[in-house]
Structure formats: structure tokens, C-alpha cells
């Protein structure tokens, strides 16, 4: 009986230590998430709110004011932190946090929207061009008589 009790206590201690470490990691991930997702804190809530206002044009402004708390980004930061914990170790999260607090990291964050838009546009036009090149090569090889129409 003593062995079973000792085994249970040891197992419980291990679980508690693991849980505390995971909680500490999650807190660090929340800090990283809030730093790396500053875009959410700088008007993101209003952008999302405005999207809903556009979708529901006949809804009075008083409704949106009363329900503004629904658009709190803390829930998103929490979910992102949980997700980051599945990818990065605690040490990696600490390093990423240091980077995003650095001047270069801050510069990257302040330019994240235009960076992402540029990457998306480059990808879009690259794919259009690639599609034309592939269709041309297929035609030259006699494997495609008329290219499919683009949407």
C-alpha cells in the first residue's frame, strides 16, 4: 500500500511540475503573441467591427456600442498563444520575444501589413504568369489544344 501511495504521490508531483511548466510557457507565449500581434491592438478591433457594420448596414450604432466587448482581441491572443506552444519550445518563445522587442523586430511588426500584402500580390501575379507559361509549354508539347479559361 505504501508503494502505491508513493507511486501516486510521485506521479502527482510530476504532473504538477509539468502543469506549472506548461503554464509558464503559455504565459510567455501570451506575451510573445501580444507583441507579435500588435496589429490586433492597433485598430484591428475597429477594422473587424467595421466589417460587421458593413455586413449589417441596417443595425443601429447603439447595438454596436453595447456589444463592443465581443470584439476584444484578448481571446485571439490567448488562442494564438496556445497554438504557438504547440510549435515552439519555451526557450524558442523567449528568443522570439526578444527579437520582436528589438529595433529590427519592431520595424518588422510596424510593416507587417504592407509586407503581407506585397507577398500576396507577388504570389498572385507569379501564379498568373506561371499558369501562362505552363499552358504555353503544354501547347508546344501538343498536350493542350486550347488553354483553359482563367476566372
CA 29 from centre of chain:
12
Q: What is the mean pLDDT of residues 71-81?
A: 84
Between 42 and 15, where is the model more confident?
Answer: 42
Of 91, 79, 94, 90, whose CA–CA distance to 37 is shortest? 79
Confidence of residue 15 (pLDDT cuts 50, 70, 90): very low
What is the distance between the alpha carbons of residues 51 and 47, in angstroms, rounded to a whole number? 6
CA 133 from centre of chain:
33
Percent of the chain with pLDDT over 70: 77
Between 92 and 109, where is the model more confident?
Answer: 92
Confidence of residue 2 (pLDDT cuts 50, 70, 90): low
Decide if pLDDT at 82 tops 80: yes
Confidence of residue 13 (pLDDT cuts 50, 70, 90): very low
What is the distance between the alpha carbons of residues 67 and 69, in angstroms, rounded to a whole number? 5
Amino acid at each position: 500500500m505504501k508503494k502505491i501511495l508513493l507511486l501516486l504521490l510521485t506521479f502527482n508531483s510530476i504532473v504538477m511540475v509539468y502543469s506549472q511548466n506548461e503554464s509558464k510557457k503559455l504565459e510567455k507565449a501570451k506575451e510573445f503573441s501580444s507583441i507579435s500581434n500588435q496589429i490586433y491592438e492597433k485598430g484591428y478591433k475597429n477594422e473587424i467591427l467595421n466589417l460587421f457594420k458593413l455586413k449589417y448596414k441596417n443595425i443601429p450604432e447603439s447595438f454596436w456600442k453595447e456589444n463592443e466587448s465581443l470584439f476584444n482581441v484578448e481571446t485571439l491572443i490567448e488562442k494564438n498563444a496556445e497554438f504557438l506552444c504547440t510549435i515552439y519550445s519555451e526557450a524558442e518563445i523567449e528568443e522570439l520575444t526578444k527579437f520582436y522587442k528589438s529595433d529590427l523586430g519592431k520595424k518588422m511588426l510596424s510593416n507587417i501589413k504592407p509586407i503581407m500584402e506585397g507577398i500576396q500580390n507577388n504570389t498572385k501575379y507569379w501564379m498568373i504568369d506561371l499558369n501562362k507559361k505552363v499552358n504555353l509549354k503544354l501547347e508546344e508539347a501538343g498536350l493542350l489544344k486550347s488553354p483553359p479559361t482563367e476566372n
